[in-house]
Structure 1
């Protein structure tokens, strides 16, 4: 199984990236195979045909499990994540990929954002999202048990949709 983390935070090496990596590890028992810290793709996200962006898109599309993470900005996911997701073909850009939407925020007011805002985009791109998204408080995700609790509750459902045969 190939696991990839996509972090759509405008700050490289962010808490969003850390939380997504922790979730991938909790769900699979090992570190993710690939990490796409979207901000590092830079201006290539603003157009089409950038080699680094195309390579990142191919990596994500070839993955079996993808954790797609964003901080909560203006009650939704970030524009930089939107620019990256726009690089995928509608309907089948994430075909055969199981995705988990993850968002972090300062308070509980946007706890439904992963399911209401990020999950529909992933499904529109062809991903399978078999479990609820996960919302974490950015100030407590390293000390609370929410990632472990989520993995315990949903890893079987998520694992049952992950494609196991070679692509």
Structure 2
């Protein structure tokens, strides 16, 4: 199962960002557990390239490469700060350019950040339906973090650390099953070649 590509996507329009810190932390922890490689995609620097295109083929190469990385990932860790009771427009704009069937059955760990816990349902009521459209496999426990969980844009709260650990523990069986399916398909493809 080694070699899994874990891609984290931060939908924060600002830097530094608690959302970026959270998705990066979670992705690195997942990668450690599965002997994979974590990659962080921050959407803030891509805003100019995203905002000037209606169709995917109009996007600049840097944005295209980020979209390709998401579509080719074995596992996604996605996150957005709460903006007006939902994910950011930047987050939605990016995922508007993902192929409709590119995320089918892909494990997706959902995260969000907000000023207070009153935004905690963002994960369940906004993010989970978005990835349901893509037929992605949203993992059982999402992670919500508030400003109090961070210090200098780093995860510092013991409670948040415990939520991250539990979420990853619950996700691992699905991630491992997906990797085993992928490996079996690759083996069948090699056998078919002979």
**TM-score, normalisation: structure 2:** 0.76
Q: What is the deviation of 1:94? A: 1.5
Higher RCO structure (Cα 8 Å, ≥6 apart): 1
Q: What is the deviation of 1:19? A: 0.6
Q: Name the counterpart of 1:80.
A: 90
State the SS of the aligned residue for 1:61: helix
For 1:26 and 1:156, the matched residues in 2 are separated by: 15
Any conservation in 1 of the 2:143–2:167 contact (CA below 8 Å)? Answer: yes
User: Considering only aligned residues, what root-mean-square deviation do their CA atoms show, in Å?
Assistant: 2.1
The 3 A distance-change label for structure 1 pair 89 and 160 is same
Pairing 1:89–2:111 present: no
Q: Name the counterpart of 1:148.
A: 165
For 1:164 and 1:12, the matched residues in 2 are separated by: 35
Q: What is the deviation of 1:127? A: 1.5
The 3 A distance-change label for structure 1 pair 147 and 132 is closer
Question: 1:111-150 alignment to 2 at 5 Å?
Answer: 111-140=120-149, 141-144=155-158, 145-150=162-167
Pairing 1:5–2:8 present: yes
Correspondent of 2:73 among 51, 59, 63: 63
Flag as ranges the 4+ runs of structure 1 deviating above 4 A. Answer: none
The 3 A distance-change label for structure 1 pair 93 and 154 is closer
Which sections of structure 2, spanning at least 5 residues, go unmatched?
A: 150-154, 190-194
State the SS of the aligned residue for 1:36: strand
Q: What is the deviation of 1:25? A: 2.2
Stretch moving more, 99-108 or 24-33: 24-33
The 3 A distance-change label for structure 1 pair 31 and 119 is same
Which sections of structure 1, spanning at least 5 residues, go unmatched?
A: none
State the SS of the aligned residue for 2:148: coil
For 1:93 and 1:5, the matched residues in 2 are separated by: 16
